[in-house]
Chain A
């Protein structure tokens, strides 16, 4: 046992010396390998965490949203629809929602304005997201001047600022009273943006939705499950960003492995020939190459994954945030709760470390089985 361990240690010693002899080449290889793993692992962590947060946040979403369509576009829904929908068997509550977008010409930001019922949404007062407070340099008690659609100034006193921890929901929110909402948008009375419907039995949701669609042919019911599915699919592997990162990383990795698998340099071949001629067995040479593959790929995998975890959960994924930010003036700080999916990490390990190590060993096996003299003369 001790002899076997000593043999492995000796071969590992030789492997490291051999890697360090070609320091520049191997360090650049390690750096590129690490970068590929880092990008793939960052993406896995980012997507898993966002999916989890979406699932938690959307648990509080209404059972069903009913929109009204006019000429194929979403339009305001008459409040009269609410009473008729409330009369459908199984519906426990229908709440008209007032919400919209406000473009701030001062800084080019888009805010989401919602009329809330909470006591903090008293007329003249507003609760704003941390993103809005930052963009307009606001503190509690300050006045937020907005301009209504009939050019009248609307002054809102900041009652509360949502903590930056809730940025993923509220970064661009301004919660105002219904009266201020109507004044700001010159919003017609007796209308709502959409209706939030609560149904007693979740299994009845499709039936209730079908009844609403049949009773109001110009309506579009959106079920909670559809909202949740939309978010589960947003960061699906087939989606834009995910696919781009996945494909470019995998292609880079295939280039690495292809380079390794298609053959050895003349210098490596000569080294194998010398080792064989001084008495190394074929199995020793293969062990040497195995350790070489492990030293590079395992180090890149472990370091890449740990760095990706730090990038996504401690630094708020600055690389991906830049992509999502686009032209947004207000954007959330992605303070995501860490999620580690063991299955995905195992998959990443088997997709990267195993093929690379195999690609390192196989060409050496071919070189190690030929005559040492021929290998040295190659």
Chain B
């Protein structure tokens, strides 16, 4: 087979796999929720995802204070690796 046809065939196979990705995703989404959340978990009404467990403010970012990474003492610097990846909560109704 000519090299150009081999390349076009290879690209066609790649393209087919690429176009199948959305179909696979849609199929997987149809059963994903049941797997993720059992009734018991839903009853706990969790407020955060378990992305990182090393620090309180990255385990429960939505419940944390914006200053949580720096509150341990006046000159404390944020030092947990996940703290540089997970942003602080957007806005809380902070009270003076």
By a beta-carbon cutoff of 8 Å, the part of chain A in contact with chain B is 9-10, 12-13, 16-17, 50, 53-54, 56-58, 60-62, 65, 67, 69, 72-74, 95, 97, 101, 109-110, 112, 114, 116-118, 120, 127, 129, 131, 160, 162-163, 165-173, 175, 194, 196, 209, 213, 217-222, 226-227, 229-231, 233-234, 236, 239-241, 295, 298-299, 302-303, 305-306, 309, 313, 323-332, 337-340, 342
CA distance A227 to B91 in the complex (A): 9
Using Cβ atoms and an 8 Å threshold, which residues of chain B touch A339?
25, 29
Q: For chains A and B in complex, what number of residue pairs have CB atoms within 8 angstroms? A: 224
Please list the 5 inter-chain residue pairs (A to B) with the smallest Cβ-Cβ separation, ordered nearest first: A326-B81, A337-B32, A338-B25, A302-B14, A12-B4
Using Cβ atoms and an 8 Å threshold, which residues of chain A touch B21?
305-306, 309, 338, 340
CA distance A329 to B54 in the complex (A): 7
B 1-48 contacts with A by CB, 8 A: 2-5, 7-8, 10-11, 14-15, 17-18, 21-22, 24-25, 28-29, 32-33, 35-38, 40-48
A227-B62, A239-B87 as given contacts; A326 in contact with B41, CB under 8 Å? no
Q: Please list 28 pairs of residues, one from A and one from B, whose beta carbons are closer than 8 Å in the complex, sorted by A's number.
A: A12-B8, A57-B46, A60-B37, A69-B95, A73-B71, A101-B59, A112-B59, A116-B40, A162-B41, A169-B36, A209-B93, A213-B93, A217-B95, A222-B63, A226-B89, A230-B89, A233-B90, A239-B86, A240-B85, A240-B86, A299-B14, A303-B14, A324-B82, A326-B81, A327-B80, A328-B54, A331-B53, A338-B25
A56-B36, A324-B51 as given contacts; A338 in contact with B41, CB under 8 Å? no
B45 touches A196 (CB 8 A): yes
